[in-house]
Structure 1
Amino acid sequence: MSQAHLFIIAAASGAGKTTLVKALLNKDRDLQASVSHTTRKPRPGEVDGGDYHFVDEVTFLDLKSKGEFLESAECHGSMYGTSKKSVQLILDQKKDVILEIDWQGAQALKAQFKEAVSIFVLPPSVETLAERLNSRGHDSEETIAMRLAVAREEMSHVDEFDYVTINDDFEVALHDLMAIIRSTRLMCHIQLTRHSHLIKNLT
């Protein structure tokens, strides 16, 4: 690949973006996720360095003060940050990067990477979102109610994104994401650079 792309994917908690991204990474070897830092505790099954870099608040704030994050935000009482070095390392390898961040982080990154492609994942209904949050089994009713309230606020920013997909049918939503990535790679100015030798011979 001659030009790497930055894809931003955001969603309210429980919309299924993490599961979608994992499936996407298994299907697309030219796509790599940048692992964010967070101060929240790992959920069951999550791996440090794989799902997130789990750090304490002191370490997080130290990294932030040193300018190590492209963006950072607080969400549900925990802090999250996108590593500048991690993203640049992947781009330097000519691989496309996908980032799972919130709408605020998406705004910050779009300001720095003008050609970044942003995607928002919506649930099919508030009821479905509540069911998905409940099915995790590790949040209290009070926490879930708070997350739903925050989710409505997050989803109100959907019109700030380039693409939107609704995660009702998982396979359909996954193919939507694959189509967005593929179409971005096929844009004219990208193809003219990637296949310059061929186009020169043809024209």
Structure 2
Amino acid sequence: MNKEKRTEIFTRLRDQNPEPKTELEYSTPFELLLAVALSAQATDVSVNKATRKLFPVANTPEAVYELGVEGLSEYIKTIGLYNSKAKNAIAMCKILIEKHNSEVPQTREALEELPGVGRKTANVVLNTAFRQIAMAVDTHIDRVSNRTKIAPGKNVREVEDKLLRLVPKEFLMDAHHWLILHGRYVCTARKPKCTACIIEDLCEFKEKTSD
């Protein structure tokens, strides 16, 4: 795919949604960090249901740490893998309190040192909370990048690196959100909704659907 096509694709996505946002509900960097960590192998909908009850009670590292693993588990037990996520979250809060003055760090290295925080979670926090250019590649973004040929890659890291290199600079800050939403609602896994797609004529996917 050439640069002109990529520019037109992201121009259309931006025109359709000028200020894209994550669908996770949060009001502070810590709330976002915890929500993203909880969303691994779970839906944003399920995480939001849990955090709507949790955050009014505990939405700081100290308050969540005070709940303990069992206490936190009660709030997040509707989320997949909640036991291990609760253990990681409590350990994460302890490190934030002891090493970071209860503040969410703004570097990838420090974020990835936190239990339960991998590269993708760190990228979401850096991009969404701190407005740093970062590309959090999940299954949706990986699928859209490969199907459309915007940035095909053999694995998520290769796709991430290609997107950072190939997406025109003016779109880099919000490209992650546009791609994830496009993959979630239009370029879906089993059957992409090609006839309803605003970039269908630019997409290089060979097996487009016709209904």
Q: TM-score w.r.t. structure 2 length? A: 0.28
Higher relative contact order by CA 8 Å / sep ≥ 6: 1 or 2?
A: 1
Q: TM-score w.r.t. structure 1 length? A: 0.28
More helix by share: 2
